[in-house]
Amino acid sequence: MVRIPIIAALVAGCAGSLAASTLQRLSLNNMIQQSTVIVRGTVQPGSSAALRGALIYTHYQVSVKTTYKGTPGSSIDVAVPGGVLNGMQQPVAGAPALMAGQDYVMFLWTSKSGLTQVIGLSQGLLNVTTNAQGQTIVSRGPANATMLDSSGNAVQDSNLQMPLSQLAGKIQAVLAGGNGQ
Protein backbone atom coordinates (compact mmCIF):
# COMPACT_ATOMS: atom_id res chain seq x y z
CA MET A 1 0.00 0.00 0.00
CA VAL A 2 2.89 2.39 0.69
CA ARG A 3 4.22 1.89 -2.86
CA ILE A 4 1.21 3.44 -4.60
CA PRO A 5 1.58 6.95 -3.04
CA ILE A 6 5.35 6.85 -3.65
CA ILE A 7 4.87 5.91 -7.30
CA ALA A 8 2.17 8.58 -7.70
CA ALA A 9 4.49 11.20 -6.19
CA LEU A 10 7.32 10.20 -8.53
CA VAL A 11 5.05 10.35 -11.59
CA ALA A 12 3.68 13.75 -10.52
CA GLY A 13 7.22 15.01 -9.96
CA CYS A 14 8.31 13.91 -13.42
CA ALA A 15 5.24 15.45 -15.06
CA GLY A 16 5.77 18.71 -13.21
CA SER A 17 9.35 19.04 -14.35
CA LEU A 18 8.29 18.72 -17.99
CA ALA A 19 6.08 21.77 -17.72
CA ALA A 20 9.16 24.04 -17.47
CA SER A 21 11.05 23.87 -20.76
CA THR A 22 14.06 25.92 -21.77
CA LEU A 23 14.56 26.35 -25.51
CA GLN A 24 17.44 27.57 -27.59
CA ARG A 25 16.12 30.39 -29.73
CA LEU A 26 16.48 29.41 -33.37
CA SER A 27 16.66 31.85 -36.23
CA LEU A 28 14.75 31.08 -39.39
CA ASN A 29 18.07 30.22 -41.06
CA ASN A 30 18.88 27.80 -38.19
CA MET A 31 15.52 26.08 -38.58
CA ILE A 32 15.95 25.77 -42.35
CA GLN A 33 19.46 24.32 -42.00
CA GLN A 34 18.71 21.97 -39.08
CA SER A 35 15.39 20.58 -40.35
CA THR A 36 15.41 17.25 -42.12
CA VAL A 37 12.04 18.06 -43.71
CA ILE A 38 10.14 21.32 -44.31
CA VAL A 39 6.55 20.97 -45.52
CA ARG A 40 3.28 22.78 -45.87
CA GLY A 41 0.49 20.49 -44.75
CA THR A 42 -2.86 20.08 -43.10
CA VAL A 43 -3.36 18.25 -39.81
CA GLN A 44 -5.85 15.42 -40.23
CA PRO A 45 -8.64 14.73 -37.71
CA GLY A 46 -7.79 12.43 -34.84
CA SER A 47 -4.60 12.11 -32.87
CA SER A 48 -3.15 9.40 -30.70
CA ALA A 49 -0.88 9.40 -27.66
CA ALA A 50 1.94 7.00 -26.96
CA LEU A 51 4.56 6.59 -24.26
CA ARG A 52 8.25 6.70 -25.24
CA GLY A 53 10.36 6.15 -22.17
CA ALA A 54 8.93 8.47 -19.51
CA LEU A 55 7.44 10.93 -22.04
CA ILE A 56 4.00 11.02 -23.58
CA TYR A 57 3.93 12.05 -27.23
CA THR A 58 0.82 13.05 -29.14
CA HIS A 59 0.95 11.86 -32.76
CA TYR A 60 -0.72 13.75 -35.61
CA GLN A 61 -1.06 12.74 -39.25
CA VAL A 62 -0.24 15.59 -41.59
CA SER A 63 -1.29 15.55 -45.23
CA VAL A 64 1.59 17.14 -47.18
CA LYS A 65 0.64 19.80 -49.75
CA THR A 66 4.09 21.22 -50.56
CA THR A 67 7.60 20.02 -49.77
CA TYR A 68 10.33 22.64 -49.39
CA LYS A 69 13.06 20.32 -48.08
CA GLY A 70 13.40 16.53 -47.83
CA THR A 71 11.20 13.73 -49.18
CA PRO A 72 8.38 13.05 -46.69
CA GLY A 73 5.81 11.47 -49.01
CA SER A 74 2.13 12.47 -49.09
CA SER A 75 1.56 12.02 -45.35
CA ILE A 76 3.81 12.31 -42.32
CA ASP A 77 3.43 11.34 -38.66
CA VAL A 78 4.41 14.27 -36.45
CA ALA A 79 5.02 13.62 -32.74
CA VAL A 80 4.57 16.44 -30.23
CA PRO A 81 5.88 15.98 -26.67
CA GLY A 82 3.14 16.03 -24.06
CA GLY A 83 -0.46 14.96 -24.09
CA VAL A 84 -2.92 12.72 -22.32
CA LEU A 85 -2.55 8.95 -22.07
CA ASN A 86 -4.66 6.64 -19.90
CA GLY A 87 -6.02 9.62 -17.96
CA MET A 88 -2.57 11.03 -17.18
CA GLN A 89 -1.82 14.50 -18.54
CA GLN A 90 1.77 15.53 -19.28
CA PRO A 91 2.14 19.19 -20.34
CA VAL A 92 5.35 20.39 -22.01
CA ALA A 93 5.98 24.15 -22.06
CA GLY A 94 6.80 25.40 -25.54
CA ALA A 95 5.28 22.38 -27.28
CA PRO A 96 3.19 23.33 -30.30
CA ALA A 97 -0.58 22.87 -30.33
CA LEU A 98 -1.70 21.30 -33.61
CA MET A 99 -5.32 21.69 -34.66
CA ALA A 100 -7.11 19.34 -37.04
CA GLY A 101 -7.90 20.99 -40.35
CA GLN A 102 -5.33 23.76 -39.86
CA ASP A 103 -2.80 24.46 -42.59
CA TYR A 104 0.82 24.87 -41.38
CA VAL A 105 4.37 25.19 -42.61
CA MET A 106 6.36 22.79 -40.43
CA PHE A 107 10.08 22.66 -39.87
CA LEU A 108 10.62 19.02 -38.87
CA TRP A 109 13.50 16.83 -37.78
CA THR A 110 13.60 13.07 -37.50
CA SER A 111 15.60 11.40 -34.74
CA LYS A 112 17.73 8.28 -35.24
CA SER A 113 14.86 6.30 -33.72
CA GLY A 114 12.53 7.57 -36.47
CA LEU A 115 10.45 10.00 -34.38
CA THR A 116 9.58 13.13 -36.41
CA GLN A 117 9.05 16.31 -34.38
CA VAL A 118 8.68 20.05 -34.94
CA ILE A 119 12.12 21.64 -34.59
CA GLY A 120 12.46 24.01 -31.64
CA LEU A 121 9.03 22.93 -30.39
CA SER A 122 6.59 25.72 -31.28
CA GLN A 123 9.29 27.75 -33.05
CA GLY A 124 9.08 25.49 -36.09
CA LEU A 125 5.30 25.62 -36.57
CA LEU A 126 3.90 28.43 -38.73
CA ASN A 127 0.17 28.99 -39.28
CA VAL A 128 -0.86 29.49 -42.90
CA THR A 129 -3.65 32.03 -43.44
CA THR A 130 -4.89 34.39 -46.12
CA ASN A 131 -4.96 38.13 -45.42
CA ALA A 132 -7.61 40.64 -46.57
CA GLN A 133 -5.67 41.23 -49.81
CA GLY A 134 -5.79 37.51 -50.65
CA GLN A 135 -2.09 36.99 -49.91
CA THR A 136 -1.02 33.73 -48.22
CA ILE A 137 0.78 34.55 -44.97
CA VAL A 138 2.73 32.40 -42.51
CA SER A 139 2.95 33.44 -38.87
CA ARG A 140 3.51 32.36 -35.30
CA GLY A 141 3.47 34.07 -31.95
CA PRO A 142 6.36 34.01 -29.49
CA ALA A 143 7.11 30.67 -27.82
CA ASN A 144 5.73 30.31 -24.29
CA ALA A 145 8.91 28.94 -22.77
CA THR A 146 12.18 30.31 -21.42
CA MET A 147 14.53 31.04 -24.34
CA LEU A 148 18.30 31.16 -24.48
CA ASP A 149 20.57 32.35 -27.27
CA SER A 150 23.48 30.21 -28.49
CA SER A 151 25.68 31.67 -25.69
CA GLY A 152 23.21 30.67 -22.97
CA ASN A 153 21.88 34.18 -22.33
CA ALA A 154 18.16 34.63 -21.67
CA VAL A 155 16.37 36.23 -24.64
CA GLN A 156 12.82 37.05 -25.59
CA ASP A 157 11.20 35.27 -28.49
CA SER A 158 9.29 37.35 -31.01
CA ASN A 159 6.48 36.99 -33.51
CA LEU A 160 7.25 35.83 -37.01
CA GLN A 161 5.07 36.85 -39.96
CA MET A 162 5.74 37.02 -43.70
CA PRO A 163 4.20 36.12 -47.04
CA LEU A 164 4.49 32.40 -47.83
CA SER A 165 6.21 33.29 -51.12
CA GLN A 166 8.92 35.18 -49.18
CA LEU A 167 9.43 32.19 -46.85
CA ALA A 168 9.67 29.81 -49.83
CA GLY A 169 12.31 32.06 -51.43
CA LYS A 170 14.27 32.25 -48.17
CA ILE A 171 14.23 28.45 -47.82
CA GLN A 172 15.52 28.04 -51.39
CA ALA A 173 18.25 30.64 -50.85
CA VAL A 174 19.47 29.10 -47.58
CA LEU A 175 19.46 25.58 -49.05
CA ALA A 176 21.42 26.87 -52.05
CA GLY A 177 24.11 28.11 -49.67
CA GLY A 178 23.03 31.71 -49.21
CA ASN A 179 21.73 33.41 -46.11
CA GLY A 180 18.27 34.04 -47.55
CA GLN A 181 18.31 37.81 -46.97
Q: What is the mean pLDDT of residues 49-70?
A: 96
What pLDDT is attached to residue 146?
75
Return the percentage of the chain with pLDDT > 70, whole number.
85
CB 155 within 8 A of CB 147: yes
8-state DSSP, 174:
H
pLDDT digits (tens, 9 = 90+) for 85-103: 999 999 998 899 899 999 9
Q: What is the DSSP string of 142-155?
A: --SSEEE-TTS-EE
What domains are there in the chain, each with its CATH number?
22-175 (2.40.50.120)
DSSP strand E in 5-158: where? Answer: 22-24, 37-52, 55-69, 75-81, 83-85, 88-90, 103-110, 116-118, 125-130, 136-140, 146-148, 154-155
pLDDT at 14 over 60: no
